[in-house]
Structure 1
Amino acid sequence: MTEPKVPKWRQLADEVRRQIEDRTYPPGAVLPQIKPAAEARGVSYETMRAAYKSLEADGLVRMVKRVGFKVMEPPMRRRITRGRTITRDPARGYIFPAASGPDEPWEVHGRPLAGFFPAPDEVATRFEIESGSETLRRRRVTSPAGEPPFQLVDTWISPDAVADAPQVAEKSTGPGGVYDRLEEAGHGPISWSETIRVRMPDREEAQLLAIPVAMPVVETIVVGVSARTERPIEVTIRVIPGDRVELFGELQRGRSARWPVSPVAQGPNS
């Protein structure tokens, strides 16, 4: 059997990738414009464009309007240990599994926002409200200090919870943040569940995270449930570029997998 032929656009993408890796095009450099690059290699405009778009999808370059395809700084991939334990710091309040050490400083990109926005379907379903209803959203884009945006975090709070704890809609929610205000208002202790999935970003998310729309993202959805009403009162949606994170967890042996294997577990025909 003959090896399948590698498409020309992929060959070109691999060539430019090597030039990025050997710093012929260092971070911050702009790749040659598509038309002259295509002419220099004797290929069509669309073939060269497909090569550049492939590099963009891999997070190596980013299309900047009126500039071209700019080489990106290689991202630092961070590990999130998917434990089940939520801890608490007296100064900061509840702390969820994160991609940093306990003392690593983080910074906010832009200005944190708090306001009322149409609830997306995911949130409206949880709160049992009509999709598009005006709902409190607190948004921030953060990263470890000195690094590009790492995550976009939207915390949505149900209308009933806002009525019980109006301070959650203010710019400063006070010590312990939103969760402390909700629990003080009678919803404590809040319990949480988490869903993790991979999807493509929308244009706004890609812009805020400085990634191409072709870059998959890891989305975690944490739902906080009130102890008083037993209904969701907050939904936090965290979006992280797929090239910046890896999920890690320790695997444990169940009773049936204990070592050494017992004769009964091995079975009569072992």
Structure 2
Amino acid sequence: MTNKKRTAREVADALRTRVLNKEKQPGETLATVAEIAETYDVARETARAAANMLAAEGLLRSVHRRGFVVQNTVPRRRIRRGQVVTRNPHTGYVFPATHDPGEKWVAHGTPRRSLEAAPEIVATTFGVEPGSSVLRRRRVTSPAGEPAFQLVDTWLSAQAVTDAPQVAEPSTGPGGYLDRLEEAGHGPMSWREVTRVRMPSADEAKLLEISTAMPVFEITMTGYSGRDDSPLEVTIKVIPGDRVEMVADLVRGDSAGWPVSAVVAP
């Protein structure tokens, strides 16, 4: 009688224990697929599936020619996505935040601006063909001293760039690109926000230093002209799923007032 082979879930449990016991430090290779297969006497497909389970949890990340590397995990942040837009007299508009407004955040690498092929959501919003060249402003940010927290892409329509050319410059001046758009005749602007969960692209995973098996939150904010209601900008924030949890305070409606009136069935 042959011994029963371990399942991918069982191998994943064993690998998780090794990670949580800090067998390797963040940035170090825990094991390759071949080493996992040999250690736990399983097929390579089973070994890869087990490691990918931990990648989806944010504990490991597959790195070409190195194997599965231990991730630098951070506590989840609670996000309260309100609906109120405020204004700071020094920096401009303040939108519902993904962090404490008083917390210091830093950029990872140099923020970039370039003409890029528009993804479907941007092309549809601006009424252009998918793949059309659209101005994109890109930055990766996080709290000081922490791994990359979010990738932020701001896409600006051709009309926005024509009416307010400074939005395409490295520095958009006091108040940022939104002030330039409103000064160009598009104020007061309005915004709509949509949140969804999806899998990251290879490029997004690389910039955020996560596995492509890690789901991400995508928060898309579209800004509309106050002059003709045309869409001027689409800002897309991509946040690894292991970084956040959404929180909302529920409010009682009139029918749920207290004390609850007793209702006797006939």
TM-score by length of 2: 0.93
Look up the match of 2:160: 161
- How far the C-alpha of 1:66 sits from its partner, in A, is 2.3
Find the counterpart in structure 1 of residue 255 from structure 2: 256
Cα gap change, 1:256 to 1:149, in 2 (>3 Å): same
Q: Given that residues 78 and 245 in structure 1 are in contact (C-alpha distance below 8 angstroms), is that contact kept between their aligned partners in structure 2?
A: yes
1:14 paired residue number? 13
Letter in 2 for 1:56: A
Q: SS of 1:146's equivalent?
A: coil
Secondary structure, in 3 states, of the residue corresponding to 2:134?
Answer: strand
Residue of structure 1 equivalent to 2:135: 136
Match of 1:261, SS?
coil
Range with bigger deviation, 34-43 or 164-173: 34-43
Q: Deviations over 1:94-130 (max 9, x none)?
A: 1111222222111111111112112222111111222
Aligned residue in 1 for 2:78 = 79
Paired residue for 1:37?
Answer: 36
Per-residue deviation, 1:202: 0.8
Partner of 2:217: 218
- Which amino acid is 1:84 matched to? Q
* Pairwise CA distance, 1:33: 2.9
Percent identical residues: 55
* Conserved 8 A contact 2:32-2:66: no
The 5-angstrom pairing of residues 184-223 of structure 1 reads: 184-223=183-222
| TM-score normalised by length of structure 1 | 0.92
2:265 paired with 1:269: yes
Q: Which deviates further from its counterpart, 123-132 or 21-30?
A: 21-30
Provide the secondary structure at the position in 2 that maps to 1:111: coil
Q: Deviations over 1:117-164 (max 9, x none)?
A: 122221111112222222111111111111111111111111111111
Are the counterparts in 2 of residues 85 and 96 from structure 1 also a CA contact under 8 Å? Answer: yes
**Pairs within 5 Å for 1:25-104:** 25-104=24-103
Amino acid at match of 1:93: G
> Distance in 1 between the 2:205 and 2:141 partners?
14
RMSD: 1.8
**Cα pair 1:80 1:97 within 8 Å, conserved:** no
Q: Work out the CA distance in 1 between the residues paired with 2:173 and 2:53.
A: 46
Instruction: Specify every segment of 5 or more residues in structure 1 that has no aligned partner in the other structure, as ranges.
Output: none
> In structure 2, what is the Cα distance between the partners aligned to 1:113 and 1:28?
26
Counterpart check, 1:231 vs 2:230: yes
Task: Letter of the 1:191 partner, please give it.
Answer: S
The Cα of 1:208 is off from its aligned counterpart by: 0.7
The 3 A distance-change label for structure 1 pair 133 and 22 is same
Could you tell me how far apart the structure 1 residues matched to 2:111 and 2:65 are? 29
Change (3 A) 1:220 1:269: same
Secondary structure at the aligned position of 1:82 is classed as: coil
**Residue deviations 1:179-210, cap 9 Å, x none?**
00000001011111110000011111111111
Secondary structure of 1:31's aligned partner: strand
